[in-house]
Amino acid sequence: MIAILRATARPPERSRIVSDFQPKDFISLEGAIDIHMHPHPCLFDRLTDDWGVAEGAMSESMRGIVIKCHHESTVSRAQTVTRTLGGIEVYGGIVLNFYVGGLNAGAAEAACKTGGKIVWMPTIDAENHAVAHGSRGRYDVQKGGLTGKKTSGAKPAGGKGGKAVSRTVVSTGLGVVKGGYGGISPVNERGKLKPEALDVLSVVAQYDVALASCHLHPKEIRTLFKGAKEMGVKKMLFTHPFFKVPGADVAFTKEMVRLGAMAEWGYCTVSPMWGYASIDRMAAAIREVGARNSILMSDLGQRHNPLPNEGLRVFCQCLYEKGIPEKDIRTMIVTNPRRILGLK
C-alpha cells in the first residue's frame, strides 16, 4: 500500500477559503517551464507520477514541464498527460542509457520523430557516473536498475573543473572493455568522439532538438560539445554543473557557455539530501555565468525531496533573496526554457 501511495501521490488541493492575503516579494512560477524532473514510472522510487507533476505545475500556473526517465523514452508518456489533462504542456525526451541501447541513434531518432525535445547523454550508465558512485545504476542515497561491478583499473573521477582524469575504461556498445565498470562514454581512448556518438549528434542536429550533457565527465563534455557545434547542433544543455557528476566549476561552465551551451542549474544540487552546493555558491555562479546563459529547473521527483513545482518555487525564491533580480529569474524559468525547447 505504501508503494502505491508513493506512486500515485497528488499535490494537495488548494483551499476553497477565499483570502485577500498578498505575499510581498514573492516569486511566481506563472508561465514557467521546468525542463528537468523525474516522475514515476521509474526503477527508482519516485514521489509522484506523470499526472502528479503536471497537476503540481498547473497549480502554479506554469506553462509546461519536461519529464525525464533514466530507463525509457518519455515522449509517449508526455503526450498522454497533455491530452488527458489539458491546460499544461508536457514534453519528453530520451536518456541514452543501456536500457535503450546506449548511444543508440535509432532510439534517439524515434524519440525526436515522435515529438521529443531533449536527447540526454547517459546518466546512471555513464562510466563517469559509475566511477563517482561506485557502480552503474545507483546513487549515494538511492538504488534502482542494473549495476555494474568494478573490474580492475578504474580510478576515481575527481571531476573538478575541466581537468582530465586518468581513465582506464571506455565502453564499446554494450560490451565491457578493460577495467572500470563497463559504463558508457561517447569518447574513445584517443579522446575522439566514437562513431555512435557522432551518429547521435547527427540526429540531434537534423531534428533541431536539445542535447544535454548529463553525467559525463567534464573532459568528455568538452569533446562532445565541440563536436556537436561542428555538426550544427544549436541547443546544448550543460546539466547541473555543481552536482557530483559532472562536478564542474564556474570556469568550466563559462567555457561550455562559450561553446554555445546553456547552464542548467537545479534545486536537487542544493537540496538537503544531496547538498553539493550552497544557494550562495549557486547565486554567485549565476551572476558570473549570466542569466541569459542559464536555466533554472527542479531535477526533482525523489521521495526525499519536495514535489518539483514546490522545489522550483523555493529554489527561485532563495536565489531572489540572495540577490538575483526577479527579471533574471523570469529569464531563466520562462524565456530560456522556451528557447531550448523551440517554443514561441
338's grid cell: 522556451
Q: How far, in Å, CA of 74 to CA of 42, rounded?
A: 11
What's the predicted TM-score (pTM) here? 0.87
Of 150, 182, 179, 147, nearest to 166 by C-alpha is 179
Secondary structure class of 34 (helix, strand, coil): strand
Identify the pLDDT of residue 159. Answer: 35
Where residue 21 falls among pLDDT bands split at 50, 70, 90? confident
Q: Sign (positive/negative) of CA torsion 317, 327, 119, 282?
A: negative
Secondary structure class of 339 (helix, strand, coil): helix
- 150-169: pLDDT as tens digits: 544 444 333 333 332 333 33
Q: Are 67 and 90 in contact (CB under 8 A)?
A: yes
Cα dihedral 320/162/210/40 (nearest 10): -70
49's grid cell: 507520477
Q: Map out the domains of the chain with their CATH numbers.
A: 29-341 (3.20.20.140)
Where residue 143 falls among pLDDT bands split at 50, 70, 90? low
- 263-312: pLDDT as tens digits: 999 999 999 989 999 999 999 999 999 999 999 999 999 999 999 999 99
The mean pLDDT of 130-155, rounded to a whole number, is: 66
Secondary structure class of 79 (helix, strand, coil): helix
Position 32 pLDDT exceeds 60? yes
Identify the pLDDT of residue 24. Answer: 74
User: Of the ranges 50-54, 161-165, 221-225, which one carries the lowest mean pLDDT score?
Assistant: 161-165
Q: How far is CA 337 from CA 74, 80, 91, in A?
A: 18, 21, 12
More confident residue, 140 or 326: 326
Give the contacts of 176 (CB within 8 A, at least 6 positions apart): 148, 151, 182
How many residues would you count in the chain?
Answer: 344
